[in-house]
Amino acid sequence: MIRWQTPIILILILVDFGAGALQVDGSGTKDFSKIQDAIDASEAGDEIVVKNGTYAESLVVDWPITLRGEGMPLVEGCNATSPVITINASGVVLDGFIIAGCTNDSCDSASVSVLSDGCKILNNTIYGSMSHGISLLNSSGHLISKNRIHDNFRAGIQLAGANSSQISDNEIRGNGYGIYIEASEGAVIAYNDISANGADGIAIVASSGQQITGNEIHNNSENGVYHLDSKNNIIVANTIQDCRNSGIDVVRSFSTLIVFNTIERCGEMGINLDETDNIVVNRNFLSANDINGVSILGSDHSTISNNVVEKNRDNGISLRRDSRNSMIANNTISENKRYGLILDESNLNSVQENQIHHNTNGIVMRYSAGNSVVENVVRDNGFGLSLEMVDNVVVSKNEIANSSRDGISLNRCDHSKIWANRILDSAADGIHIIRSTATIVSDNDILRSGEYGVQILDQSTQNLLLANLIQDSALGGIYLFEGEFNLASFNALIDNKKFNGWDNGGNLWDGNYYSDHQCEETFWQVLCTEPFEVRGQRGAVTLDRRAFSDPNVALGR
């Protein structure tokens, strides 16, 4: 067993482990009074310790050394044509300085300009540059961590042609941009506090493979994250609040994942996708943004899934300007001031298994074709689902409940299928059809409508009402007010208050069940021998000559 003698222990305690380093003190009591003189005298691998004080120098580092500040010495730039510190060597460490006063305002300048690989910029305060705070140019493998970077005219940190670097745990405040990334690959931007910058918190331009994770991004004057002409990036688990424009604005980009972010109180969109392709927006919380929670403009193959989208001041999710082939699935969309979900001039999209409730209106679709709305729960909205000027739309297996207006409203909705929905407790009509042609309404359960189960009016033609259960409507079951060549067949019309069926003429009724039909005799125990008279205005009568005596047989269920 080795026993240390007491004098040896005391010697070890008293050793100054920085004694082997070159020492700089502005008062001239150490090895050097100027930092650049110490750099020029050093060799690769040396450490230079700079004592507290103010150093009016512009520094150039041409070999791999460590510059370590003791007591946060201040380095003030004195050369208007260059950065305060220029690093030309790989593997340099810059730790523990206050760096201020870069007056060179060119786009490639900075208080600290790094032109080589594998450098570490740690624990510094960098402010007051007429250009960037830190600039990483055409290099790779850097660690920029635990710095306080503020009040620089351009970006707090610029990456231009800088790859595979880590920017983490910095406070980046009051700059032009917080972090500006251009033509770079593979950076990790993590756990930074990025606030009160004059433009975007983080801007990603023509870059790929970035991972933006765990950052607090708030009170920036433009977007929280701006993503332009870029691909294959991940924006995950950030908190983005109170930006003037959008929380995340993605433009002309593709194959990017936006997941687990919280985005609140932004002045425009929570997430904006503009001319994008294959963007995945998953498991985000989007609340109280001034326009839309998610806005999709002229974009293809978007996947918007498992998000909570609530209390936005216009719409929850909006697809506009010929957005195509998107999947909107498993989202909870609630308490948005206008529409829960709107599809406007957008085709071939799928809306599936969403919870849409307590919006001014639930789902609105206009000037669109080929969309499907399947297996959603839409409750406690104004219109549950409003279709206007649409073609070839499928609305299937949805539960639409407690609408304060119509459950489903169709206005000039052609060649569409409204199939197997449960439409419950609408304050007005369960299904309201205006000027629509060749739409099939089949196999729906329409219960307890405040007015009519189904109402057709304004020159609607060639629509098919097939195998619907329409029960307990406050006014009537099926009301064919105006239109021709519509067919009502195999419906069960039960206990609707004023009438089960009403037709002002020009339509066909065949094989329905009417709870008010007194069927004295039957054929084959299912068909009434006497036709049912469907009455209308001015004494109009349309006969259903094959009325059923059993609602279940009529429905075929």
Tell me, yes or no, whether 281 lies in a domain.
no
DSSP 305-356: ES-EEE--SS-SEEEESS-BS-EEES-EEE--SSEEEEEES-BS-EEES-EE
Separation of alpha carbons 331 and 351, rounded Å:
10
CA dihedral sign of residues 506, 510, 513, 514: positive
Q: Note down the domain range covering 74.
A: 17-162
Instruction: Pull the structure tokens for residue 295.
Output: 């806005």
Percentage helix, strand, coil for the chain under 3-state DSSP, each rounded to 5: 5, 50, 50
C-alpha distances in Å from residue 307, one per residue of 4, 263, 311, 526: 63, 11, 13, 50
Query: Can you give the three-state secondary structure of 298-318, one letter per residue?
Result: CCECCEEECCEEECCCCCCEE
Length of the chain: 557
* Sign of torsion over alpha carbons 322, 326, 329, 332: negative
In a domain, 312, yes or no: no
In this structure, is residue 234 part of a structural domain?
A: no
What was the pLDDT predicted at 297? 98
The yes-or-no verdict on residue 359 having pLDDT over 60 is: yes
Last residue of a domain, one of 162, 184, 201: 162
DSSP secondary structure letters along 437-461? BS-EEES-EEE--SSEEEEEESSEE
Of the residues 109, 130, 162, which one is the last residue of a structural domain? 162
- Residue percentage of the chain with pLDDT more than 70: 95
Measured between alpha carbons, how far is 35 from 43 in angstroms, rounded to an integer? 14
Question: How many domains is the chain built from?
Answer: 2
Look at 115-124, 267-276, 528-537 and tell me which has the smallest mean pLDDT: 528-537
Name which residue leads in pLDDT, 202 or 458. Answer: 202
| Per-residue model confidence as pLDDT tens digits over 178-221 | 999 999 999 999 999 999 999 999 999 999 999 999 999 999 99
How far is residue 107 CA from its own chain's centroid? 32
pLDDT at residue 523, as a whole number: 65
CB neighbours of 475 closer than 8 A, spacing ≥ 6? 451, 452, 496, 497, 498
**pLDDT given for residue 13 in this prediction:** 36
The verdict on residue 478 lying in a domain is yes
Measured CA to CA, the distance from residue 246 to residue 265 in angstroms comes to 9
For the chain, the straight-line distance linking the first and the last C-alpha, in angstroms and rounded, comes to 90
Tell me if 289 is assigned to some domain: no
Q: Rounded to whole angstroms, how far apart are CA atoms 264 and 285? A: 8
CB 220 within 8 A of CB 246: no
Within-domain flag for 446: yes
In contact, 176 and 154? CB cutoff 8 Å: yes
- The continuous run of DSSP H or E covering 272 comes out as strand 271-274
pLDDT band for position 549 (cuts 50, 70, 90): confident
How confident is the prediction for the chain on average, in pLDDT? 94
What pLDDT, on a 0 to 100 scale, did the predictor assign at position 256? 98
Q: Which residues contact 86 (CB under 8 A, 6 or more apart)?
A: 58, 59, 60, 61, 113, 115
Provide the sign of the torsion angle of the four alpha carbons 94, 98, 102, 106, taken in this order. Answer: positive
> Is residue 195, in this structure, part of any structural domain at all?
no
- Other Cβ atoms within 10 Å of 497 Cβ, number: 11
Average pLDDT, integer, range 65-90: 93
Per-residue pLDDT, 396: 98
pLDDT band at residue 77 using 50, 70 and 90 as cut-offs: confident
**Cα–Cα distance, 319 to 268 (Å, whole number):** 15
Cα 425 vs. chain centroid, distance in angstroms? 32
Q: Is 497 left (phi over 0), alpha (psi -120 to 50) or beta?
A: alpha
pLDDT value for 525:
67
Helix (H) or strand (E) holding 99: strand 98-100
Q: pTM higher than 0.85 for the full model?
A: yes
Q: What is the dihedral of CA 435, 439, 442, 444, to 10 degrees?
A: -50
At 244, which amino acid appears? R
Q: Which residues pair with 492 in a beta bridge?
A: 469, 513
For residue 40, the SS3 value is: helix
Tell me the C-alpha distance between 166 and 182, whole Å: 15
Backbone angles phi, psi at 193, to 5 degrees: -105, 110
- 502-533 confidence digits (pLDDT tens): 999 999 999 999 999 887 666 666 777 789 99
Contacts of 297 (CB under 8 A, 6+ apart): 272, 273, 274, 275, 320, 321, 323
**Is 158 a domain residue?**
yes
Ramachandran bin of 412, using left for φ above 0, alpha for ψ from -120 to 50, beta for the remaining angles: left
* Residue 14: band (very low, low, confident or very high) from pLDDT cuts 50, 70, 90: very low
> For residue range 139-172, what is the model confidence (pLDDT) as tens digits?
999 999 999 999 999 999 999 999 999 999 999 9
Please compute the mean of the pLDDT values over residues 431-443 and round it to a whole number: 97
List Cβ<8 Å contacts ≥24 apart for 525-532. Answer: 525/549, 526/550, 526/553, 532/501
Q: Are strands 399-401 and 93-95 parallel, antiparallel or unpaired?
A: unpaired
> How does pLDDT run across 41-53, given as a tens digit for each residue?
999 999 999 999 9
The CATH number for 21's domain is 2.160.20.10
Q: Count other Cβ atoms within 10 Å, centred on residue 419.
A: 19
Strand, coil or helix: what is 7? helix
- State which of 119, 146, 162 marks the end of a domain: 162
The first and second tokens of residue 287, run together, are: 């609340």
What is each CA distance from 468 to 413, 419, 423, in whole angstroms?
A: 19, 9, 11
246 vs 294: CA distance, rounded Å: 10
